[in-house]
A and B are shown apart, each in its own frame.
Chain A
C-alpha cells in the first residue's frame, strides 16, 4: 500500500498548483469587471446562442460504443494475466465472450452506425 504514496503526493501537488496559482493571480490582478469582460468567451466573436443546445445523437452513439468496447478490454486483462493457468478452457470462454461482442460489432457496422453521415 505504501508504494502508492508517491502517486498520492503527485496527485496532491497537481491539485495544489492550480489552486495556488489561481489564488495568487486573484491577489495580484486588478478587479474591474464590465459587461463585456463577464460575457462568455467565444474566440473573440460576440456570442450568438447559449452553450446548451441540442447536439447530434451521434456523439452519444460514439460514446456508448466506446464504453462497451472499453469494458470489453478491461475484461480481457484478467484473462490475459492468467492465460496459461486457464488454458484451453479460458481460451474457449474468452472466445465466446469476444464472439458475442463481435456480433454486436457486425451489427453496428451493418447498420451504418460507424459512418458519420
Chain B
C-alpha cells in the first residue's frame, strides 16, 4: 500500500496530466455547453496541479487565478449570452472539421514525440526548465517566482511590454464590439 502510494506520488505529474486530458475530452465531446465549461475548468485545475508537480508554484497560482477564475467565467458568460439553440441545426461549424482533425492529429503527434523523448528515450534530455543563468544565486525550488520575475522583467522586457499592448487591444476591442452591438 505504502509502496504503491509512493509510486503514485512520484508520478503525480502523469496522473494530473491524464486528468487534464480527461477534462479536455469532456470539454470537446460534451453535448451541453455548460458541461463543456465544467470540463474546461477541470482541465485547467489539473494543469495547475501539473505545474505544481514541476515545482512552478507561481505559474500554478497564476493558472488558477487567470484560467480557473477569469477565463471560465468569461466562457460561462458566452454560454449565457449566445443563444445556442439557434445553432443546433446549422452546419456552419462543421465546415472546418477536416482541418481541425488534421491540426489536432499533427499537434498530438508532436506532443507525443516530445513526451516520448522526455520520459522514455535512453538519453532523456533535461526536463524543460528556466534558463539556468536566470536562476543564479536563487534556490529555484523555493524561489521560482523570483526566477520568473528575472526572466520576465530582465530578459524578456520587450515581450512583456508588448503584452500590455495586447491587453489594451483586448479592452478596446471588447468596448468597440459591445458598443456596435448596442447602437
Interface positions, chain A 78-117, Cβ under 8 Å from B, are: 78-79, 81-82, 85-86, 90, 93-94, 96-98, 100-101, 103-105, 107-108, 111, 113
Q: How far is the CB of A19 from chain B (nearest CB, A)?
A: 14
By beta carbon, the residue of chain B nearest A79 is: B153
Contacts of B74 in A (CB 8 A): 60, 63-64, 67
Determine the distance from Cα of A90 to Cα of B53 in the docked complex, in whole angstroms. 30
> B73 contacts which chain A residues (CB < 8 A)?
63, 66-67
- Tier of interface size on chain B: 35 or more
Q: Which residues of B contact A72 (CB under 8 A)?
A: 164, 167
Is A1 an interface residue, CB under 8 A from the partner? yes
Q: Is B84 in the interface zone, CB < 8 Å from A?
A: yes
Contact between B148 and A65 (Cβ–Cβ < 8 Å)? Answer: no
User: Which of A66, A85, A94, A108 lies in contact with B175, CB distance below 8 A?
Assistant: A108
Q: How far is the CA of A57 from the CA of B179 in the complex (A)?
A: 9
Q: Residue A14 at the B interface, CB < 8 A? A: no
> Given known contacts A50-B85, A97-B164, is B171 in contact with A68 (CB within 8 Å)?
yes
A42 within 8 Å of B (CB atoms): no
Q: Does B83 contact A (CB under 8 A)?
A: yes
A61 located at the interface, meaning its Cβ lies under 8 Å from any Cβ of chain B in the complex: yes
Find B167's partner among A1, A60, A71 (CB 8 Å cutoff): A71
Q: A67-B74, A70-B66, A86-B153 are in contact. Are A104 and B167 (CB under 8 A)?
A: yes
Residues A65 and B69 in contact in the complex (CB < 8 Å), given A71-B167, A81-B149, A97-B164:
no
User: With A60-B178, A93-B160 in contact, is A70–B70 under 8 Å at CB?
Assistant: yes
Whether the Cβ atoms of B152 and A107 lie closer than 8 Å is: no
Contacts of B150 in A (CB 8 A): 82, 85
In the bound complex, how far is the Cα of B63 from the Cα of A70, in angstroms? Answer: 12
State in angstroms the CA–CA spacing of A111 and B180 once bound together.
12
Closest to B60 in A: A4
Mask, B27-54, CB within 8 Å of A = 1, is 0000000000000000000000000110
Q: Interface residues, chain B, CB within 8 Å of chain A?
A: 52-53, 55, 58, 62, 65-66, 69-71, 73-74, 77-78, 80-85, 145-146, 148-150, 152-154, 157, 160-161, 163-165, 167-168, 170-172, 174-175, 177-179, 181-182
Q: Can you pick out 6 interface pairs between chain A and chain B where the beta carbons lie within 8 Å of each other? A: A1-B53, A60-B178, A63-B73, A75-B163, A86-B149, A100-B164
